[in-house]
Structure 1
Amino acid sequence: MISDDRAVTPAVGKALEVGIVLLFVGVMTTALYGGAVPDYRDAVGAEVGDRAVVAAAERVENAVPPAARDVRTVHGVDLPRSIRGENYRIAVENRTLVLDHPAAAVDARARLALPDRVESVDGAWRSSDDAVVVVTGDRGGMSVELTARAELGGER
């Protein structure tokens, strides 16, 4: 008696095809999420961080009036709410804006070009707050502070 197993061949062939496709998808997913995607997110996050800090530095520099001595101004600063999906902070260190981000690859700095009459620059912004620059001064000199709009109370 001769057995005929030819009816099983199409089912086995399809099972092998499905197995190969699943193996391919698994290898590609592992390769992308293990290397390419995180590297891309780091690169994009670093670029967004650089742009955010440079734009913030420009806004701080423009908030200082050119010739006024007796002044109190408040200027809003637009910051991205998150970079690389995380909240961050921008602080002043030695007249330089410094981005503090949980991802080590996202790092940015921008030196502030301010007139000599600006005696102090301090404060910090969190990305979750509405950021403002407060410039105050009199004949003795000027100061620049980075703060949140909520910290000003009712002042606009």
Structure 2
Amino acid sequence: MGKLSTASRGMTPVVSKTLAIGLATLYIAGMTTALLGGVVPAYETRAGGELSERVLATAAGEIERAPPAVAGSVERQTTLTLPETIANDEYRLKLSNSTLALVHPDGAIERETHLSLPPAVTPQNSTVSGGRVVIEVSGSLANRTLGLGDKQ
């Protein structure tokens, strides 16, 4: 039988540690690829969809409350603060007739709702980016206009 040389005894711990580091690196790389390739984007889209529903509901509620029920002519501006982005992308609020739509680059996040406005209020077609939104109401009680304006 051959004798074990004292010069090669230190190789076993080095080889085992190198293999352990290699396996750990492969595990981490595999998990990162799996999460960033499927789980995280799907979660981000679902979370973005829920946030867009809340943003749209908040904006619709403020727009519906904006026209005052007072006699005479009014000039009123209400500022609404919404998130700047949804799912790391900018979005727009589009007011068209009595419909408020949230327009987003990801179609799964887009939403729209019908507004309940008084019959004498005419919505002006307008589009604004998210963030600070100005709701503008003007005119007499019998003929008021409502629109979305730029940020102040």
TM-score (norm 1): 0.86
Counterpart CA distance in 2 for 1:69 and 1:120 is: 19
What is the letter of the counterpart of residue 136 of structure 2?
V
Show structure 1 runs of 5+ residues with no match.
151-156
Task: Name the SS for the 2:56 alignment partner.
Answer: helix
| Aligned sequence identity (%) | 32
TM-score (norm 2): 0.88
Which range moves more in the overlay, 86-95 or 12-21? 86-95
Task: Name the SS for the 1:115 alignment partner.
Answer: coil
Q: Is it true that 1:136 corresponds to 2:138 in the alignment?
A: yes
User: Shift of the alpha carbon at 1:66?
Assistant: 2.4
Choose 1 or 2 for highest CA Rg: 2
Report the equivalent of 1:25: 28
The alignment of Structure 1 onto Structure 2 pairs a total of residues equal to: 149
User: Shift of the alpha carbon at 1:121?
Assistant: 3.4
Show structure 2 runs of 5+ residues with no match.
none
Q: Is it true that 1:147 corresponds to 2:149 in the alignment?
A: yes
Report the equivalent of 1:77: 80
Counterpart CA distance in 2 for 1:114 and 1:68 is: 17
User: Shift of the alpha carbon at 1:94?
Assistant: 3.2
Work out whether residues 137 and 144 of structure 2, in 8 Å CA contact, stay in contact via their aligned partners in 1: yes
Cα 1:68/1:149, change in 2 over 3 Å: farther
Counterpart CA distance in 1 for 2:64 and 2:126 is: 15
Report the equivalent of 1:46: 49
Equivalent of 2:10, from 7, 12, 24? 7
Report the equivalent of 2:115: 112
| Deviations 1:43-77, CA, capped at 9 Å, x for gaps | 11111111111100101111011243522211111
- What is the Cα-based RMSD across aligned positions, in Å? 1.8
Higher strand share: 2
